[in-house]
Each structure stands twice: as C-alpha cells, then as structure tokens.
Amino acid sequence: HLYTNHATDKWKEIQSLQAKIVGADHAFFRWNGISGLKAAMQSILGYGGLPRTPLLPTTSEQQQNIVEAVESALEIERQL
C-alpha cells in the first residue's frame, strides 16, 4: 500500500498507514528489542518463548503494550 500509493495524491492514507506500521516497529525494536519481539510472537502466534540470557523477559504490562501496538499493523496485513 505505501509503495503503490506513493505516486498518487493519497497522502492522508499513506501517513495513516505509516503511523500504524511505525507503532509496531517501535514496540519491537525501540522499546523492547528481541525480548519484545519474542513476547509478541508468543502472545499472537503461540510460539516465541523467552529470550536467552543475558536478555531479560518482558513484564506482563510490557507484553500487553506490545500486543496493542502491533495489532494495528496486523490489521493492515490481514487486509492484504
């Protein structure tokens, strides 16, 4: 969607999609790193498990925040 709409005048739609994607990216890598990615995989897909040491697992509150942030990006993927 972002790439195909880039050459059109659909800037509002592009900005909305970008904001949803960036939220998921921040939840994984900016805020929580690999631990966040594994927590999201475990919560959403049912596999992922805990990170290996020296990484610390995420708290249940962090996991909930990650899932909420990723949900909007997953909704976009479901529409494709």
pLDDT tens digits, 13-57: 778 888 878 888 888 777 888 998 898 889 888 999 999 999 999
Please tell me the total count of domains within the chain.
1
Confirm whether pTM is higher than 0.75: no
Task: Report the first-to-last Cα separation within the chain, whole angstroms.
Answer: 9
Phi-psi region of 56 (alpha: psi -120 to 50; beta: other; left: phi over 0): beta
DSSP element (H, E) containing 78: helix 60-79
Range of the domain at 7: 1-79
Distance CA 74, CA 8 (A): 24
